[in-house]
Every structure is written in structure tokens, then in C-alpha cells.
Structure 1
Amino acid sequence: MRVKMKKVVILINSIADNAPEDELDVLNQVCFAEEILEALGYETYREFMNMDFPALRQKINQIQPTVIFNLVEGMDHNARVLFLSTGFLDALGYPYTGNTSIPMFLTNDKVLSKEIMTLAGIPTPPWFTAQAFEGFSDDRIFIAKPIWEDASVGIDDYSVFKGSEENISRYREKYGSNNFFLETYVEGREFNISVIEYPDGPRVLHPAEMCFCNYPKEKPRIVGYTAKWDENSFEYQNTRRSFELDEKDTQLIVKLEELAYQCWDVFHLCGYARIDFRVDNQGNPWVLDINANPCLSPDAGLIAACRHANITEEELFNLIIKAAIR
């Protein structure tokens, strides 16, 4: 007698013909997910998210999946409306992996997430939005960041500058948009913490430090676009992830973990997430970003954190699915 296999739809965003590396990475994720899920006994179906919701609904209903594995990172090449994808999945009614519409909406808008962190008492670097740019003058160093983008899109050495209207205009001209904010640049160290939902609650994994090796003194120590995506760049080759922290970092690790749990609760995160931090030269941690549904490619930070914790890829994907059908 043939055993009926469980079905999973792996949902990804559509890819443009001339897509940059950060958008193409979803193909690495879906291939990796297919391999792991098939090893777990699932029959996988790859579908593409787009604005033709009735057609996509019909396709998924024909498959009748046990669960939908959500790897969508944008809608019609627009990260600003990413929350529409989970809204569609909510209406569709099948269990789906990762974060639901509320945390996706709250974390996708970087300014909104900083406002929420401030209200919740979570330390995040001070920031300014476009309303304050006219006549702006501040001798501090800032980093300009897109409001709705992840994957370090729009972040490079030119993003770090002294606060002046002239420098803001130069950045605006380079990227052709006013959809960015200025965040006070925190000189110091950079960490990220991955969080996974277990049946009894979230588990924070060991912090990873991003080490900026061989960086010239004047070069900003940031994980910019080239550090993530351009394998031939200086930044990519000299920005390294390390889990080997010193004993003197024990108290810092406790602080980072406490903040990660607080972010999980405040933003109603579920499934899996990653929290990015800077730690200033006085040892104070600052939350930079909350990544709901972070990258799941084989070389991603979440996967590296799991390997360091002796969590296999199969265990991770099984936990993600269990959280979806809880």
C-alpha cells in the first residue's frame, strides 16, 4: 500500500529577469528548503507569490497542502507591501510558517519598529525622518537606511556621514528616493541573535559577532550590501561571523539575550527571527533591526547559529513547521 505523503507548498516571491544578488538569494533558499523538506518526508510544490490572488488561491487549493512554507520577501518587487503576502495567507486558511501579519507589518517598517521599541523601553539608536531633513545640522555621525528594505539594500560607505542637509541631499540623489531615515551611528561592535520557537516557547541561540577584519581606520564598520552579496569585494572577504566570545563578554551576552526575548514578546514574533545589535564602546547594546522571517539559505546567519548550537537543518525546519501548525 502506497503511503500518502504530506504536502507542502513553498511560497516565494517572483524574480525579475535582471534581479540583483539579494533578490536571487530566495532561489538558494527554496532549493535548500526543498532538499530538507523532502528529507523530512514532504512532497514539495513551488509556487510564486504575486498580486493575482485568485489564481494563486486556486493553485494552492488544488494542492491541498498540510502547510505552506513562506519564503516570500516582497510583493511585485516591492518590500513595502510585504505584509500583504501574509494577509493573503491568513485569508487562505492553511497553516503557514514564520511570522504572521502583525509582526511582519510592525517590523517591515523600520521607523515604526523603532517607535515601538522606544515605547517599550528597548534601546535603539536615535533617528530622524524626512520631516526633519530640511535645514538639518548635527555634528554627529549618522547612517542612512531605507525604511522598508532588508538584506542591507541601499547601505554602503556612502550611507555613513555627518549630519548636514548637503550630505542628506547627496545621499538622496544617489538613491533617488526620500524613503530613508537617519540613524545615529553607533561606533563599536556588531552582533546578531537568532531566535527559534519551540513547543514550550522561544529559544535564543548564542550571539554571533560580525568581525570587521583588516578594515582601515577610516572605513565604516558596517555590514553593508557588498559585505553580504559581492563575493569579490573587500567587505565580503573581510567581514566574518564569529561565535567565539571572550569570558569578559558574559554580562553582555546576558543583556543581548534579554533584549532578544523582549523583542520577541513586544513584536509578537513567532516561528523564527533574528535581532541585530550594535554595542557601543561603553558596552551598551542597541537594537538596530528586528528581522522577522530572516534568510534561510545555507550560509545565512540563522543556519550558522543552529549549526553552532548542534541543531541540524532537519530539526530546524521541523521546528518551524511545528510552530506553524501549533
Structure 2
Amino acid sequence: MPPVYHTLLTADTEVRRIGFRHHMSKKPPIVIIHNEVAPDAPEDVLDILRQSAWIADVLREQGYEVRSLPFSIASIATQAPALQQDHSIIMNLVDASPLHEDLAYLVPGILASLQLPYTGCSLESLFLTTDKILTKRHLHAYGIATPRWLQMHTPTSNQEFTAGPWLVKPSSDDASQGIDEKSLVHATEIEQVLTEMESRQKRTGRPHFAEQFIDGREFTVCLYGAADNPVAMAPYEWVFEGFEERHLPKMFTFAAKWDDSCYAFDHIVSKHAFAEEDKPLLATLQELAASCWHACKLSGYARIDFRIDGSGKAWVLEANGNPSFYGFFHSAAAMGIPFGEVVETIVTVADRHKS
């Protein structure tokens, strides 16, 4: 069962499977590529298949002929001549997965080398945004506020540390992988944070870093469209219900997103309606999201995550290229935009700019 975090708005709005339509001749065929997923894969990886089936249905409703293809270099290279001949567009849903963490950014380069138009971000932008430390350095260079960070193998004299909570997390994994409640370190000395980073790095074999934890409101902005003219959708807020009463840190963990036995699974909810007093903040978040889009050279679709500190300042946590579509679905519903039109715009941009 898909986790509540990823379910659609209501049961009656969920996209239903329909047969092929007969008026597709004017629209290019779509090939959705996704990871090869084993039946016993982790829940976040299995979700790639759910999204693939869902987006296929959405595109069929828009009048496209759609088929799915588990990605491998051999399969896409073999089919490339035929895909070029019938002017197919590749809907790239390949994501990082265990033992294949680099696929997320390598696939666009492979598709580009085969001269196949594809949806979403380029190799360059995905390489940048997949590495969270590299992203933070890049945003900082562009004058975009992002929380301070600490990393291994850097002299402590060159790192900015202040006592307080620090969130230790993997440098490149997404979907909150590797994050649990013990990831939050309340430190009085930098060595406490570095020790936790080193411990998790040794245990997982994956590089980690630490980010200063902003204990405040959390927002997300989804963007889509052409590289030079993105649409910043209405921001939405993540509300952590009952967390204060249970003395839980207000943050996403892996279990919060994927384990329905976890309290947070059903108690982190998105909020799309706001009071008049929040409108200036919402406008600022949209502007900052667009700035991140341009700074990171994003295209197609992306998501920017924010935290708001006690003074009302917005801090960019992450820029995510080619994220899941659930946030886009809910934002479109809140804005009164048909979700199918959002997905078709992503396809149209790929056809126009990456042919």
C-alpha cells in the first residue's frame, strides 16, 4: 500500500486506468523509463513503479501512447534508432536506488548522447543537486541562504559551529534515507557532531554531513516548465501534528515517509490554505524557489524545500531535481490546475528544448 505521505488527494480524484485512445497521431509516443526494481526492494524504490504506472495513466488521459521500459544501457541503446525514428520522448523516472546511486544523474547524459529528448533535469543539474554539500556551496555562492553545515576531513577551524541541534544525514541519498530521530544531535562542541557523522559513515559506507537544524515551519515549492521560464506553484506547509506533545523533533525521517507503523507517518500533513498574513512569506518562497531553479540550472520539474526560523527568515534545505510527482498533484489541485496539464507541459518542454 502506498504510504499516506504519497497518496493522492482523495479516492475519487485518483487517476484510473483507461485504454489507449484513438486520436494520438498528432502527439509523440512516450516511453517511460524507470529503474529495474526487484520485488523485495525497499518501499521507497518500489514507489518508483507506482509513480511510473500513475504517470502513464495521466499521459494516456492526455492522449499519448505510452509504454514503460526498465532502464539499462543496453536496452536504451538498442532501441534508440527506433525511438529517434518515431520521435519518441523519454519520460525519465530513473532514480537513485541501492547499489545504483549514480543512476539519477548519469541517465540524462546517456539519453543526450543518444540524441533522445527526455523530461526533467540535465546531467549537470542532477549531479549538482544530488550532492547536498555541493548544492549548499552553490546556493551560498549565489547569495541564497542555506543552513550552516559541517563535513568530515575539514579542519574544525575552517567550519562554522554554534552550539545547538545539528541534523546528521547522508550527503547524496534522497527520500530521507538514513535519517532517524537519533540523527538529530544536540551538541555543545563540534566533536559531538563529527563523532556521530563518522559513526554513521562507517556503519553505512555512505558519506555524511551535518546541517544546522532550523526549528521552525517547513514549506515546499514545486516548479515546472522550461529552463528559462519556470512556473513556481503555490507553496505548501508541512504540519507536524502532535509532535510537541510527544516531544518529537519536527522533521522527516525515513520511517515518517515509508513506515505506516510510525506515528509520524499519519501525522505529518500538508497544508495548502493560508491566512492573509502569510501571503508575503508565500510570495518570498516562490521567488526564492525560482532563484534556486536558475542557480542550479534546473529544467522540466523540481522541488525546493524550506525552513523558516523564528525571525521569519527562509532557509533553503534542498533543491531536488526530478522529484516525485505527489507534491505537484496536490499543488495543482490547490491551484485549480488540472494535473494532466502540468505533466503534459513537462513533456512539451522536453520535446521543444531537448530534441
Q: Above 0.5 in TM-score?
A: yes
Pairs within 5 Å for 1:174-323: 175-197=203-225, 201-216=229-244, 218-296=247-325, 300-323=326-349
CA contact (8 A) 2:166 2:185 kept: yes
Aligned to 1:150: 174
Choose from 84, 87, 105 the match for 2:109: 87
Deviations 1:232-262 (A, max 9, x none): 3201111000012222222211221111110
For 1:20, the equivalent position in structure 2 comes to 42
Measured after TM superposition, the shift of residue 226 of structure 1 is 1.7
Inter-partner Cα distance in structure 1 for 2:261 and 2:31: 35
1:116 aligns with 2:138: yes
Residue 57 (structure 2) pairs with residue 35 (structure 1): yes
Kindly tell me: are residues 3 and 274 of structure 1, through their superposed partners in 2, closer, same or farther at Cα, counting changes over 3 Å?
A: closer
Distance 1:19 1:132, change over 3 A: same
User: Which structure 2 residues correspond to residues 97-108 of structure 1 after superposition, within 5 A?
Assistant: 97-108=119-130
Taking a change above 3 Å as real, the CA distance of residues 127 and 145 of structure 1, as seen in their structure-2 partners, is same
The farther-off stretch of 310-319 and 260-269 is 310-319
SS, match of residue 79 in structure 1: coil
Q: CA deviation at 1:79?
A: 2.1
The code of the aligned residue for 2:151 comes to T
- Work out which of the residue numbers 50, 62, 68 in structure 2 matches 1:46: 68
**What TM-score do the two structures reach when normalised by structure 1?**
0.90
Residue 74 in 1 paired to residue 96 in 2? yes
Contact 2:197–2:208 under 8 Å retained in 1: no
How far did 1:55 drift?
3.5
Q: One-letter code of the match for 2:341?
A: E
How many aligned residue pairs are there? 319
Quote the Cα distance in structure 2 between the aligned partners of 1:323 and 1:3.
21
Give yes or no for contact 2:33–2:68 (8 Å, CA) kept in 1.
yes
Distance (whole Å) between structure 1 residues aligned to residue 219 and residue 166 of structure 2? 19
TM-score, normalised by the number of residues in structure 2: 0.83
Is 217-226 or 69-78 further displaced after alignment? 69-78
Are the aligned partners of 1:138 and 1:162 in contact in 2 as well (CA < 8 Å)? no
* Amino acid paired to 2:329: I
User: How far is 1:108 from its partner?
Assistant: 0.8
The residue type equivalent to 1:318 in the other structure is: E
CA contact (8 A) 1:211 1:241 kept: yes
Q: Structure 1 residue 46: deviation in Å?
A: 1.1
Identify if the C-alpha distance between structure 1 residues 47 and 312 changes in structure 2 by more than 3 Å, giving closer, same or farther: same
Give yes or no for contact 1:8–1:65 (8 Å, CA) kept in 2. no
Distance 1:134 1:94 in 2: 46
- Relative to structure 1, is the Cα distance of residues 179 and 313 closer, same or farther in structure 2, using a 3 angstrom cutoff? same
More off after superposition, 32-41 vs 236-245: 32-41
Q: Check whether the contact 2:232–2:289 (CA below 8 A) recurs between aligned residues.
A: yes
Question: Cα deviation per residue 1:268-326 (whole Å; 9 max; x = unaligned)?
Answer: 11111110000111111000000111102xxx112111111112122112101111012
Residue aligned with 1:265, SS: helix
Unaligned runs of 5+ in 1: none
